[in-house]
């Protein structure tokens, strides 16, 4: 969601803040702004892109400041609603990521006390509360103000006449970057990597005081020790490296990141079956294992259900974290696995806490070390995908699948020969994907065809039903074409009414027990005159008789067809969006890390 940054040091703050905001553009936003403290506080903000604002802002003197990229939740994107927000006097400026649940009540009380508000946002109540409680102690005023606040937040506070920044978090991520006679604050690591690779991750409830002299972290009113972490990837890892878009770069990185992930799982004795986390031991009884996730990670969880039940025979429930949070009963399995790319997905974190409170042993699969999810969980498996900048998840999804395959396969103890075969297939996947990525002409041709339509259906069965959901999600995210994914057998239960010459169908076939049924489904679709693009294994001569266009993917063990098929659909979505001239890395209304409900 929103990106927030802060700087205090010996250099001019303005260029540092803008550079940090550029590094956070991948999170998705609709407005932006900065505030610089000198004799007073100067604020420049507006709807639109960081680059446009940077061109309009004059040189501002000051070595302390804060900045923000906003993803609108309260009030439309415009100059008034953009951050930073100030109090009546203009002495205090605040940038905020999150949702203030009781802001209407707080705003009403503050107005009655004489405060004047100008925006529609919930965030504006924070500087007014700080002004209310300020008695010459900024840290104390912020701490007292936050006691009145209900909801989630990551904030940075800048005050005229104060040498410190004050930052705090509850439910939303916040890091401090450690420098030499200068320090940084941000909602994510890429914002500070041009200046430092030394960071401190704030915990829920922490309040940090940041100055040129150093940092202090307060928790429950007491100063606590903090641990410095070194970031092992560089800012260059987050650059496009010659690719037109981050999304295309990250699609092409999938063979490498899968190899990197497997190195951490497979020993030289490839059939040893030694798993970092043995699901059969963790589960321990016949209650279902529960998978919790949202969005693309939810589709990974659906694939995980097929994998775990097929390989281990363990019953699996898959729950949308955003829905399970409102069930009367929390997850009651012996083990819950939460999947979240960022480790900060608000709905997933809440579901994790409910599962843990219910007595579940909790495993997190995430791409971000020291994220909130990793701190809540009993066990953590990191996907090692590296920084993913494109809003549409690609390589993080593929590696989530690899982790789920690895968890199942390396917990398998029944048939040593079958285990060795599965491990070998797993190790060969990067090479198969490199073949797919080296010959994209067929996919580009299909993308050029799809770009002319406004509604597309995706169908699949078995392990490729979730891939149909993910393919539809990718297309709608970045091309703005209406797309829906279906279990192929469900299309006839109502959605056939929408089929016709103007509604193409992308059909995913695998040479498993669903193959003949999928061919029948394609025939049914063609009978309604809908164009069909089929995704099929190399050498499949049958499907060409029924489909209008065919995308061929490398042959793999049927259990792994989801991986090659999803990469093909990522490319299909990418080239379709490119054909339509869409902003692929920063699609409208979307954010990389969903930190609000």
Domains annotated on the chain, with CATH: 3-237 (3.60.20.10), 246-435 (3.40.50.10490), 439-597 (3.40.50.10490)
CA dist 4 → 139, 184, 288 (Å): 19, 11, 40
User: H-helix or E-strand containing 210?
Assistant: strand 207-211
Complete edge-to-edge strand list for the sheet that includes strand 335-340: 316-320, 289-293, 335-340, 361-366, 379-382
Kind of pairing, strands 361-366 and 379-382?
A: parallel
d(CA 547, CA 514): 17
Tokens of 188: 């994510």
User: Which residues, in sequence order, are bridge partners of residue 125?
Assistant: none
Q: Which residues are catalytic?
A: 2, 592
CA dist 218 → 7, 163, 222, 223, 269 (Å): 19, 18, 5, 4, 48
Degrees (nearest 5) of the Cα angle 306, 310, 311?
Answer: 120
* Residue-wise DSSP of 151-177: EEEEEEEEETT-S-EEEEEEBS--EEE
What's the pLDDT at 266? 62
CA dist 285 → 281, 296, 363 (Å): 9, 29, 17
Torsion angle, alpha carbons of 144, 150, 154, 158, to 10: -40
What's the pLDDT at 278? 65
pLDDT in tens, 53-111: 999 999 999 999 999 998 777 788 899 999 999 999 999 999 998 888 899 999 999 99
pLDDT in tens, 543-593: 888 899 999 999 998 899 999 999 999 999 999 999 999 999 888 876 555
What's the pLDDT at 149? 93
Residues of the chain with pLDDT under 70: 1, 26-28, 233-242, 264-287, 330-333, 590-597
Query: Are 9 and 179 a contacting pair, CB within 8 Å?
Result: yes
Half-sphere exposure of 188 (CA within 13 A, CB side): 30
Cis peptide before 420 (omega within 30 of 0): no
* Residue-wise DSSP of 468-507: HHHHHHHHHHHH--EEEEEEGGGTTTTGGGG-STT--EEE
* Residue-wise DSSP of 66-90: EEEEE--SSS-SSTTTSSPEE-TTS
């Amino acid at each position: 969601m929103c990106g927030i940054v802060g700087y205090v040091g010996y250099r001019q703050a303005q260029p540092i803040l803008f550079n940090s905001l550029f590094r956070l553009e991948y999170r998705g936003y609709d407005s932006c702004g900065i505030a610089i403290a000198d004799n007073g506080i100067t604020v420049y903000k507006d709807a639109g892109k960081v680059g446009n604002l940077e061109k309009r802002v004059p040189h501002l003197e000051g070595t302390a400041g804060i900045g923000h990229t906003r993803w609108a939740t309260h009030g439309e994107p415009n100059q008034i609603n953009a951050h930073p927000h100030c109090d009546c006097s203009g002495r205090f400026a605040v940038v905020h990521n999150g949702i203030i649940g009781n802001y209407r009540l707080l705003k009403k009380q503050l107005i009655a006390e004489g405060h004047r508000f100008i925006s529609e946002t919930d965030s504006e109540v924070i500087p007014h509360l700080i002004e209310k409680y300020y008695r010459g102690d900024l840290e104390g005023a912020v701490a007292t103000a936050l006691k009145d606040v209900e909801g989630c937040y990551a904030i940075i506070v800048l005050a005229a006449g104060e040498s410190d920044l004050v930052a705090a978090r509850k439910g939303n991520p916040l890091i401090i970057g450690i420098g030499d006679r200068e320090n940084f604050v941000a909602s994510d690591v890429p914002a500070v990597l041009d200046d430092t690779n030394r960071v401190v991750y704030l915990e829920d409830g922490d309040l940090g005081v940041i100055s040129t002299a150093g940092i202090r972290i307060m928790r429950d009113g007491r100063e606590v020790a903090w641990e410095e972490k070194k970031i092992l990837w560089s800012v260059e890892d987050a650059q496009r490296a010659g690719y037109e878009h981050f999304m295309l770069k990250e699609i092409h990185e999938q063979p490498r990141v899968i190899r990197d992930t497997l190195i951490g799982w497979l020993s030289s004795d490839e059939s040893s079956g030694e798993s970092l986390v043995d699901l059969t031991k963790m589960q321990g009884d016949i209650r279902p294992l529960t998978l919790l996730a949202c969005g693309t990670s939810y589709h990974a969880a659906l694939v995980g259900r097929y994998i775990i039940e097929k390989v281990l025979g363990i019953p699996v429930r898959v729950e949308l974290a955003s829905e399970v949070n409102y069930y009367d009963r929390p997850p009651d399995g012996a083990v819950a696995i939460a999947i979240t790319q960022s480790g900060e997905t608000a709905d997933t974190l809440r579901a994790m806490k409910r599962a843990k409170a219910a007595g579940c042993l909790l495993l997190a699969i995430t791409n971000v070390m020291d994220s909130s999810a990793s701190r809540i969980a009993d066990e953590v498996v990191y996907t090692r995908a590296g920084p993913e900048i494109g809003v549409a998840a690609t390589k993080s999804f593929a590696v989530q699948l690899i982790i789920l395959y690895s968890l199942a396969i390396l917990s398998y103890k029944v048939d040593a020969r079958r285990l060795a075969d599965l491990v070998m297939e797993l190790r060969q996947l990067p090479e198969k994907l490199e073949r797919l990525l080296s010959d994209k002409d067929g996919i580009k041709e299909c993308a050029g065809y799809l770009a002319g339509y406004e509604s597309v259906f995706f169908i699949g069965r078995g392990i490729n039903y979730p891939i149909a959901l993910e393919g539809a999600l990718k297309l709608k995210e970045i091309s703005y074409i209406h797309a829906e994914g279906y279990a192929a057998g469900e299309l006839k239960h109502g959605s056939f009414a929408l089929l016709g010459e103007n509604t193409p169908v992308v059909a995913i076939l695998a040479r498993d027990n669903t193959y003949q049924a999928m061919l029948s489904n394609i025939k049914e679709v063609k009978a309604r005159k809908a164009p069909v693009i089929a995704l099929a294994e190399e050498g499949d001569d049958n499907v060409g008789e029924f489909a209008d266009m065919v995308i061929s993917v490398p042959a793999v063990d049927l259990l792994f067809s989801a991986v090659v098929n999803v990469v093909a659909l990522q490319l299909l979505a990418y080239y379709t969006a490119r054909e339509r001239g869409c902003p692929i890395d920063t699609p409208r209304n979307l954010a990389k890390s969903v930190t609000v409900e």
